[in-house]
Amino acid sequence: MYDLMFKDRLLQGKRILVTGGGTGLGEVMAEAYAQLGATVYICGRRAGVAEETAKRIGDATGSKVVGLGCDIRVAEAVDDMIARIWNDGGALTGLVNNAAGNFISRTKDLTPKGFNAISDIVFRGSFYVTLACGKRWIEEQRKASVISILTTWIWNGGPFTVPSAMSKAGLNIMTKSLATEWGPNGIRLNAIAPGPFPTKGAWERLSPQAASGNRGDSAERIPMGRNGEMVELANLAVFLMADGCEYLTGQTIAIDGAGHLGGTGNFSALSRLDDAQWEAIGAQIRAANQKDKTQRTA
Ligand code: HXC
Ligand code: NAP
């Protein structure tokens, strides 16, 4: 349970699917939604993991939480799951495209199969789920909210995670395109680009040396000097899902302690220098200036 910034029962009556909600960030968001009164569905390829998490969250929050086995890479399986959810108490009101796969690798070492292992989940699978829900919402004239979980690499590139960066960038433009196309239907789409929020799934594949539980070196590169806290992500995911900000659509919001901004500046690493180092640098620059001045004719 999280110390959320919202009032109790804020999401009462909402019915939300979180893909990949059996673990990591998906589990965090699923729990926050259930805590605020929503009925929540979570899915993953490992049905047992999804069911176990659903039971834990349901017991902790008192809300209905259902775990489902579904591989979102398979369009027919996605359609079956969505039909099953619709038949289990009515239409969804919200979807979180959270399921993903990723690993670090030099791009030259990737095989086509390795590329597809990521893009089939993130790029294609997230589209299949969005499409299966969107078709029904439009036909039934229902308002809905979609959130896709991206990464900040959509803005500045993702070296060594190119299949993920390309796929997430695709979902970013899906968010903007469908916000326009489906806006007249009352369907809004937004996205969250998290900085590092240590999870077992991500750290084992992206920061293997830190997977054992320490927070890794990612925090050092962040201007705010730390990784994200789960409750911060949960609050943003609730805000984007709740009624009250329907005019907000087509947006991707970074929650990363300014990580992608600090990381792109050429001199961002200088924030680590101490006073003595700045004095030494200043002296060097002034000496160089002085030397040049002595060579000027005027
Ligand atoms: C190079 C690799 C590889 C690696 C797998 N492959 N790992 N290539 N380097 N480290 C290649 C394999 O060799 C194979 O190609 C192909 O990928 C498929 O491998 P499988 O193991 O059969 O894949 P599959 O069972 O489909 O599993 C998918 C997966 C796996 C993506 C590889 O990691 C997974 O299930 N991940 C789900 C959870 C996850 O990744 N969570 C992290 C999300 S974090 P060949 O040609 O050799 O057969 C995130 C962003 C975090 O997205 C941002 C932090 C700031
Ligand atoms: P995670 O725990 O590994 O979560 C990934 C989830 O996706 C798992 O529950 C997995 O379950 C599910 N999944 C993978 N392939 C699937 C498929 N084909 N069909 C259905 N479900 C599938 O990792 P995480 O860190 O929480 O990542 C969650 C999301 O946040 C991802 O979109 C990731 O890109 C994003 N993100 C994370 C961070 C971070 O710091 N953690 C930062 C930026 C963005 P199964 O294995 O059972 O299928």
**What CATH number has the domain bearing residue 160?**
3.40.50.720
Q: Which ligand has an atom closest to residue 151 CA?
A: 2
1: nearest Cα among 43, 46, 63, 49: 63
**Predicted pLDDT of residue 265:** 58
Residue among 113, 167, 256 whose CB has most ligand 1 atoms within 8 A, to mutate: 113
Closest C-alpha residue for ligand 1 atom 14 = 114
Q: Is residue 172 part of a domain?
A: yes
Run means of pLDDT, 10 residues per run, the chain, 298 residues: 92 98 98 98 98 98 98 98 98 98 94 98 98 98 98 94 97 98 98 96 77 58 93 98 96 96 69 85 86 82
Atom of ligand 1 nearest to the CA of 120: 26
Residue among 41, 43, 45, 167 whose CB has most ligand 2 atoms within 8 A, to mutate: 45
Q: Which ligand has an atom closest to residue 25 CA?
A: 2
Q: Is residue 213 part of a domain?
A: yes
Number of domains in the chain: 1
**Predicted pLDDT of residue 286:** 84
Q: What CA–CA distance (Å, rounded) separates 161 from 170? A: 14
Phi/psi for 191 (5° steps) reads -140, 155
Q: Is residue 4 part of a domain?
A: no
The model's pTM: 0.93
Q: Is residue 1 part of a domain?
A: no
CA-to-CA separations, 84 to 50, 53, 80, in angstroms, rounded: 16, 19, 6
> Which residues form the domain of 139?
15-297
Q: Say if ligand 1 is within 6 A of residue 102 CB.
A: yes
231 token code pair: 């409750």
Q: Is residue 173 part of a domain?
A: yes
Contact present, 237 and 27 (Cβ < 8 Å): no
Q: What CA–CA distance (Å, rounded) separates 48 from 10? A: 29
**Predicted pLDDT of residue 298:** 67
Q: Say if ligand 2 is within 6 A of residue 167 CB.
A: no
Q: Which ligand has an atom closest to residue 30 CA?
A: 2
Q: Is residue 2 part of a domain?
A: no
Long-range contacts of 240-244 (CB under 8 A, 24+ apart): 240/145, 240/147, 240/190, 240/192, 241/11, 241/14, 241/16, 241/33, 241/94, 241/96, 241/145, 241/147, 242/6, 242/10, 242/11
Q: Is residue 124 part of a domain?
A: yes
Q: Say if ligand 1 is within 6 A of residue 105 CB.
A: yes
Q: Is residue 8 part of a domain?
A: no
Contact present, 158 and 151 (Cβ < 8 Å): yes
**Predicted pLDDT of residue 208:** 64
